[in-house]
Structure 1
Amino acid sequence: MRSFHFPGRSTVHAQNAMVATSHPLAALAAVEVLREGGTAADAAVAGSLLLGVIEPQSTGIGGDCFALIQPRGEGKITAYNGSGRAPKAANVEWYLERKINSVPLTSAHAVSIPGAIDAFATVLRDHGKFGFDRLAQPAIKAAEEGYVVAPRIAFDWKNQFEKLKNGTNTERYLLPHGKPAVAGDVIRQPELGKTLRAIAKDGRDAFYKGPIAEDMVETLRGIGGLHTLDDFADHTTEVTTPIGTTYKGYDVWQCPPNGPGITMLVMLNILSRFDLKKFAPLSVERFHLEAEAARIAYMIREMHVADPAHMKIDVAKILATEFADEYIAKIRMDGLLDLPNVAPPMNPSTIYITVVDKDRNVCSFINSIAHSFGSAIVSNKTGVLLQNRAGGFRIQPDHPNCIAGGKRPLHTIIPALLTKAGRGIMPFGVMGGQYQPVGQTHVLTNILDYGCDVQEAIDMPRGLHYEGVYQLEDSVPAAVVDGLKKLGHKTTSVVGPLGGGQAIWIDWDKGTLTGGSDPRKDGCALGY
Structure 2
Amino acid sequence: MESNLFEFTSRRSPVISRYGIVAASQPLAVAAGLKVLSMGGNAADAAVATAAALAVTEPGSTGLGGDAFCLYYEASTRKVYALNGSGRAPAALTLERLEAEGFGQTLPRFHPYTITVPGACAAWCDTVERFGRLPLLKVLGPAVELAHEGFPVAPQTAYLWQRAATSQLASAVNGLELTLNGRGPRAGEIFRNPGLAQALTMIAIEGKDAFYRGAIAHAIVEVVREAGGCLTLEDLAAHESTWEEPISVTYHGVHFWECPPNGQGIAALLALNLLETYDLHRLDALSPERLHLLIEAMRLAFADARHYVADPVFARIPLEELLSKEYAGERRKLIDPARANPAVRHGVPFASSDTVYLAVVDAQGNACSFINSNYMGFGTGIVPRGWGFSLQNRGHNFSLIPGHPNQVAPFKRPYHTIIPAMATREEDNSLFACYGVMGGFMQPQGHLQVAVALVDDQLDPQAALDRPRFCIEPDESGSVVALEEGIPVKTMAALADRGHHVRPVSGVGRTLFGRGQVIYRDPEQGVLWAGSDPRADGCAMTLGSS
The normalised TM-score by structure 1 is 0.95
Amino acid at match of 2:274: I
Amino acid at match of 2:268: M
CA contact (8 A) 2:175 2:381 kept: no
Determine the C-alpha separation between the residues in 1 that align with 2:168 and 2:191: 15
CA contact (8 A) 1:244 1:253 kept: yes
Determine the C-alpha separation between the residues in 2 that align with 1:367 and 1:321: 31
Determine the C-alpha separation between the residues in 1 that align with 2:51 and 2:395: 21
Counterpart of 1:53 in structure 2 is: 56
2:231 is the alignment partner of 1:227? yes
Equivalent of residue 491 in structure 1, options 502, 508, 512: 502
Residues 289-438 of structure 1: matches in 2 within 5 Å?
Answer: 289-340=293-344, 348-420=353-425, 421-438=428-445
RMSD: 1.5
Q: Structure 1 residues 219 and 197, CA, compared in 2 at 3 Å: closer, same or farther?
A: same
Give 1:165 shift: 4.6
Moved more, 507-516 or 63-72: 507-516
Determine the C-alpha separation between the residues in 1 that align with 2:372 and 2:138: 19
Equivalent of residue 217 in structure 1, options 197, 218, 221: 221
- The Cα offsets for residues 269-322 of structure 1, whole Å up to 9 and x where unpaired, read as 011121112320011112111111111001001122210000111100000112
Counterpart of 1:510 in structure 2 is: 525
2:525 is the alignment partner of 1:520? no
Determine the C-alpha separation between the residues in 1 that align with 2:188 and 2:168: 20
Counterpart of 2:100 in structure 1 is: 97
Equivalent of residue 153 in structure 1, options 154, 157, 175: 157
CA contact (8 A) 1:14 1:527 kept: yes
Amino acid at match of 2:465: I
Amino acid at match of 2:324: A
Determine the C-alpha separation between the residues in 2 that align with 1:525 and 1:408: 33
Determine the C-alpha separation between the residues in 1 that align with 2:75 and 2:454: 23
Counterpart of 2:491 in structure 1 is: 480
Identical-pair percentage? 39
Amino acid at match of 1:290: L
Give 1:509 shift: 2.2
- The Cα offsets for residues 201-249 of structure 1, whole Å up to 9 and x where unpaired, read as 2110000002110110110011111111010001000001111000011
Q: Structure 1 residues 192 and 382, CA, compared in 2 at 3 Å: closer, same or farther?
A: same
Gap regions ≥5 residues in structure 1? 1-5, 343-347
Determine the C-alpha separation between the residues in 2 that align with 1:158 and 1:378: 17
Give 1:115 shift: 0.4
2:459 is the alignment partner of 1:449? no
Give 1:395 shift: 0.7
Determine the C-alpha separation between the residues in 2 that align with 1:240 and 1:165: 35
CA contact (8 A) 1:462 1:473 kept: yes
Determine the C-alpha separation between the residues in 1 that align with 2:73 and 2:339: 42
Amino acid at match of 1:371: M
CA contact (8 A) 1:283 1:480 kept: yes
Give 1:354 shift: 0.8
Give 1:155 shift: 2.0
Determine the C-alpha separation between the residues in 2 that align with 1:113 and 1:135: 23
Determine the C-alpha separation between the residues in 2 that align with 1:493 and 1:429: 24
Counterpart of 2:5 in structure 1 is: none
Equivalent of residue 480 in structure 2, options 469, 477, 487: 469
CA contact (8 A) 1:164 1:171 kept: yes
Counterpart of 2:350 in structure 1 is: none
Amino acid at match of 1:17: G
Counterpart of 2:91 in structure 1 is: 88
Residues 117-266 of structure 1: matches in 2 within 5 Å?
Answer: 117-169=121-173, 171-266=175-270
Determine the C-alpha separation between the residues in 1 that align with 2:432 and 2:204: 33
Give 1:326 shift: 3.8
Residues 274-285 of structure 1: matches in 2 within 5 Å?
Answer: 274-285=278-289
Give 1:258 shift: 0.8
Moved more, 469-478 or 239-248: 469-478
Determine the C-alpha separation between the residues in 2 that align with 1:82 and 1:216: 18
Determine the C-alpha separation between the residues in 2 that align with 1:341 and 1:303: 9
CA contact (8 A) 1:74 1:424 kept: no
Determine the C-alpha separation between the residues in 2 that align with 1:164 and 1:87: 22
Amino acid at match of 1:61: L
- The Cα offsets for residues 455-495 of structure 1, whole Å up to 9 and x where unpaired, read as 10011001111222101222222112111111111122342
Q: Structure 1 residues 414 and 164, CA, compared in 2 at 3 Å: closer, same or farther?
A: same
Amino acid at match of 2:325: T
CA contact (8 A) 1:463 1:470 kept: yes
- The Cα offsets for residues 176-216 of structure 1, whole Å up to 9 and x where unpaired, read as 13222221111111111111111122110000002110110
Counterpart of 1:286 in structure 2 is: 290
Amino acid at match of 1:117: C
Determine the C-alpha separation between the residues in 1 that align with 2:95 and 2:394: 16
Determine the C-alpha separation between the residues in 2 that align with 1:405 and 1:145: 40
Amino acid at match of 2:177: Y
What secondary structure, in the 3-state scheme, does the structure 1 residue paired with 2:293 have?
A: helix
CA contact (8 A) 1:463 1:471 kept: yes
Give 1:334 shift: 2.2
Determine the C-alpha separation between the residues in 2 that align with 1:333 and 1:309: 38
Give 1:167 shift: 3.1
- The Cα offsets for residues 403-447 of structure 1, whole Å up to 9 and x where unpaired, read as 100000011111111101211121110111101111011011011
Counterpart of 1:500 in structure 2 is: 515
Counterpart of 1:345 in structure 2 is: none
What secondary structure, in the 3-state scheme, does the structure 2 residue paired with 1:200 have?
A: helix
Amino acid at match of 1:441: L
2:21 is the alignment partner of 1:10? no
- The Cα offsets for residues 126-153 of structure 1, whole Å up to 9 and x where unpaired, read as 1111122112222212222111110110
Gap regions ≥5 residues in structure 2? 1-8, 347-352
Moved more, 161-170 or 500-509: 161-170
CA contact (8 A) 1:350 1:432 kept: yes
CA contact (8 A) 2:155 2:537 kept: yes
